[in-house]
Amino acid sequence: MILAELVKLRRSALWLVALVLPVLTVTAGALNYAGNRSMLSSGWAPFWSQVVLFYGLLFLSMGVAVLASAAWRMEHRGHNWNLLMSTPIRPAAIVGAKIAALALVVAFMQLVLLVLVAVVGRLVLGLEGMPPWEQAAVAGLAVVAATPVIAVQSLLSMSIRSFAAPVALGLLGCVAGAGVLLGGGGGVLSHLVPQALVSSALFLGNTAVADSASLDPGAVGTIVAAAGALTAAVWALSAVLLARREMR
């Protein structure tokens, strides 16, 4: 089923979203960094912190919401549900393949982000050397941390035909996630709200964000475990709901 999903991604508008979002993010981060050089120390870490600040709180999760709505719109349009549900593929595989395909696009988006950070940092901001490996590790971890958001947005977009409604609900999730993190809630709650988990992952080792954990095996392991558990729970719920769905 995952192979079928990969074919559907060809010439899909999802790739455009995955390209444009990092461009906007790095542009905003670079402008922020350049405009506040007097207040920020020079180097890759302060630049990275400016890039991931809004990306971690809002852009990545909202990007996922848009990607999920676009991915399920393919099925809502043109009676493709009838086709999907009259194949031998089980509901869990249908939902799982969609989550995996979306994770692939998010991974591509993270790769674009890393490349853009390196290019803009060197060529535009004149930073020396290359970005530290920790930034690549955090960007990769963010893909794992984003899977619960992918699963939740996938569930919403699967259940609601509207493109905008799941995105709006995703925005509410971001507000809740930011509230948990910035309100100092932290702890368990920051690992239970999917959007907060994305922020926690992207802010690892980031000195510009208060209360962010350091990039150590314990913090990484907790995020991976939370992401796995949340994704599995939402995936299972999606499969049950899809199995009960009536094609009216």
Which residues of the chain form contacts with other proteins (CB under 8 A)?
1, 3-4, 7-8, 10-13, 74, 77-80, 82-90, 243, 246-248
Nearer to other proteins, 128 or 246 (CB): 246
Q: Judge whether 223 and 197 are in contact, CB under 8 Å.
A: yes
Cite the DSSP H helix spans in the chain: 2-8, 14-35, 44-54, 60-76, 80-85, 91-119, 133-159, 164-182, 187-192, 194-202, 217-244
Nearer to other proteins, 38 or 86 (CB): 86
Angle, in degrees to the nearest 10, between helices 133-159 and 217-244: 20
Q: What is the distance between the alpha carbons of residues 199 and 190, in angstroms, rounded to a whole number? A: 9
Q: Tell me how crowded residue 82 is: count the other CB atoms within 10 A of its CB.
A: 9
Nearer to other proteins, 97 or 138 (CB): 97
Least Å distance, CB 134 to other proteins, is: 38
Least Å distance, CB 5 to other proteins, is: 8
Distances (CA, A) of 146 to 98, 102, 116, 230: 14, 10, 20, 10
Nearer to other proteins, 89 or 107 (CB): 89
Least Å distance, CB 64 to other proteins, is: 20
Helix (H) or strand (E) holding 214: none
Least Å distance, CB 245 to other proteins, is: 9
Q: Judge whether 207 and 47 are in contact, CB under 8 Å.
A: no
Nearer to other proteins, 41 or 244 (CB): 244
Least Å distance, CB 152 to other proteins, is: 24
